[in-house]
Amino acid sequence: MNTRYPHRVLIWLGISATMASCGDTPFNPNIRGTVDAEVRDRTDGEVEFLGVSSGDFQVSIRSTDGTWVYLGTLTGIVVTLQGGTPTSLYGPSKVFAGTYDRVRLKLSTITFFFPQGGTIGGTVLTSDASAVAAGTSPLELEFSVDPFDVLEKGPTVGISFDLNVEQWITLQILKERVVPDEALRSQVGVAVYNG
């Protein structure tokens, strides 16, 4: 019998405990917490137009050790523009417990529709208008966020994406009927919260 074997186990357990206590293991595949993701288009002051966006939305989050965790894809989702009302993507999802610091939103086949009567760039729309996010498809938007913890018995972590349509929609975009990648990359926002 090898009497040194138990000592090796004890040494390994001691090292593992030390690593965990030092925060060097931000990702725990054996324990799960809850994350909820949503998309909305908040109003920025007075509402000058209404509309909807529709398409496929996919969300992933990255742990501080570099591991990406896929939350899921929802196809054909409809988001009310300028309404501020959130559209839940998946409902609460169970993910590995740990510390996360990046969020990714992947957009596919997204169309923005604006009915007549709305005001874009000071001009009233005399007919319905639409534009598609037709540059890179799918378009991946990656965000660096303050590190947040997903805990086994902690509150659900909320991830809320804001399309910020009022910041980038122009008559030129509606004329060309194409939303440039850069419009979405520069204006879509995200907030992470516990709730």
Q: Tens-digit pLDDT profile for the chain (195 aa)?
A: 444 443 333 333 333 333 333 344 456 668 899 999 999 998 777 888 999 999 999 999 999 999 999 887 777 889 999 987 898 887 788 999 999 999 999 999 899 999 999 999 899 999 999 999 866 678 999 999 999 999 998 899 999 999 999 999 999 999 999 999 999 999 999 999 986
Cβ partners under 8 Å of residue 54, min gap 6: 76, 77, 78, 79, 110, 111, 113
Write out the H or E segment, with its range, that includes residue 132.
Answer: strand 129-132
Alpha helices in the chain (DSSP H): 5-21, 165-168, 171-176, 181-187
Q: What is the pLDDT of residue 106?
A: 93
Give the pLDDT score at 26.
58
Q: Six-digit token pair at 16? A: 């593992």
What are the tokens at 119? 């005001």
CA dihedral 105, 107, 113, 118 (to 10 degrees): 30
Characterize 1-38 residue by residue with b for buried, 16 or more Cβ atoms within 10 angstroms of its Cβ, and e for exposed.
eeeeeeeeeeeeeeeeeeeeeeeeebbbeeebbbbbbb
CA dist list (Å): 147 to 7, 103, 174, 177: 37, 10, 38, 37
Q: Give every CB contact of residue 7 below 8 A, 6+ residues apart in sequence.
A: none
HSE (side-chain half, CA atoms, 13 Å) at 177? 3
